[in-house]
């Protein structure tokens, strides 16, 4: 397949996600994307001069509306297809790395955007073989660097990866399927509980306390 055809499929897939799929899942979207800062790729310890394209990936913001009473932040770029996926699309297989990340907040949150940009950068570096980690999965816990934690008196030190709400949990692109992974900020005590009781146990506790969907950096620990 000619390179220009691969490029066209790539651009069409990107456009379908942002102009059709995301408005269907989230409603009204902000007109601009908050791109990943270059320093998230070039900082210690996984320095990499990123492909120029990665600097166009980022976070899309969606304000509350009649269907959703909170702000939503959704990544755009992790599901962008590889050249091989463009040349040989398989709907039953993942597009890109197979997922995007999502976060809900009660208030508009530049902090949420920054944290999610950092998560995106780490996943792109991991997919490129530049880290010793695996791509994130449901019930993983991610330690936030001190510089990315909410300011005191917030006790949030980790991100917890959980399934997104069923109505927006997954979608399909011409180049494959995509899962939305919901990120929740959690405390050190909650992280230890998840380690002891497994992720499903912590999710049940968060649900019991009504904090399993929206990240609130000011909330108290549930355990």
For 55-65, the pLDDT digits (tens) are 999 999 999 99
Question: For position 1, what pLDDT does the model report?
Answer: 44
Question: For position 179, what pLDDT does the model report?
Answer: 98
Question: For position 190, what pLDDT does the model report?
Answer: 98
Section 105-114 average pLDDT: 97
- CA–centroid distance for 140 within its chain: 13
Residue-wise DSSP of 89-125 = --TTSEEEEEEEEEEEESS--HHHHHHHHHHHHHHHH
Q: Which pTM was predicted?
A: 0.94
With contact defined as beta carbons under 8 Å apart, do 106 and 29 qualify? no
- pLDDT > 90: percent of the chain: 89
Place of tokens 């790729």: 41
Supply the mean pLDDT for the chain: 94
For 137-191, the pLDDT digits (tens) are 999 999 999 999 998 999 999 999 999 999 999 999 999 999 999 999 999 999 9
- Residue 177: is it exposed, middle or buried by C-beta count within 10 angstroms (0-12/13-18/19+)? middle
Reference 142, options 109, 176, 119; nearest CA is: 119
Question: What is the Cα gyration radius of the chain?
Answer: 17
Question: For position 4, what pLDDT does the model report?
Answer: 61
- CA–centroid distance for 7 within its chain: 24
**Confidence category of residue 3, pLDDT binned at 50, 70, 90:** low
pLDDT for residue 117 is more than 50? yes
pLDDT for residue 108 is more than 70? yes
How far is Cα 67 from Cα 48, in angstroms, rounded to an integer?
41
Place of tokens 């499903």: 200
pLDDT for residue 43 is more than 80? no
């Amino acid at each position: 397949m000619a390179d220009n055809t691969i490029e066209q499929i790539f651009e069409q897939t990107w456009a379908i996600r942002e102009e059709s799929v995301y408005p269907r899942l989230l409603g009204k979207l902000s007109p601009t994307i908050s791109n990943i800062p270059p320093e998230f790729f070039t900082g210690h310890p996984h320095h990499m001069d990123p492909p120029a394209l990665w600097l166009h990936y980022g976070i899309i913001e969606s304000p509350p509306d009649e269907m959703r009473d909170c702000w939503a932040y959704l990544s755009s770029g992790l599901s962008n297809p590889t050249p091989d996926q463009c040349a040989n699309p398989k709907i039953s297989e993942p597009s890109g790395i197979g997922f995007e990340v999502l976060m809900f907040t009660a208030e508009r949150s530049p902090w949420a955007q920054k944290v999610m940009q950092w998560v995106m950068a780490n996943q792109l570096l991991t997919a490129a073989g530049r880290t010793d980690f695996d791509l994130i999965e449901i019930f993983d816990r991610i330690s936030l660097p001190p510089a990315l934690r909410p300011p005191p008196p917030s006790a949030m030190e980790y991100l917890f990866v959980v399934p997104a709400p069923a109505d927006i949990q997954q979608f399909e692109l011409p180049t494959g399927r995509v899962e939305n992974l919901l990120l929740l900020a959690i405390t050190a005590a909650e992280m230890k509980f998840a380690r002891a009781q497994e992720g499903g146990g912590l999710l049940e506790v968060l649900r019991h306390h009504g904090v399993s969907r929206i990240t609130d950096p000011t909330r108290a620990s549930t355990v």
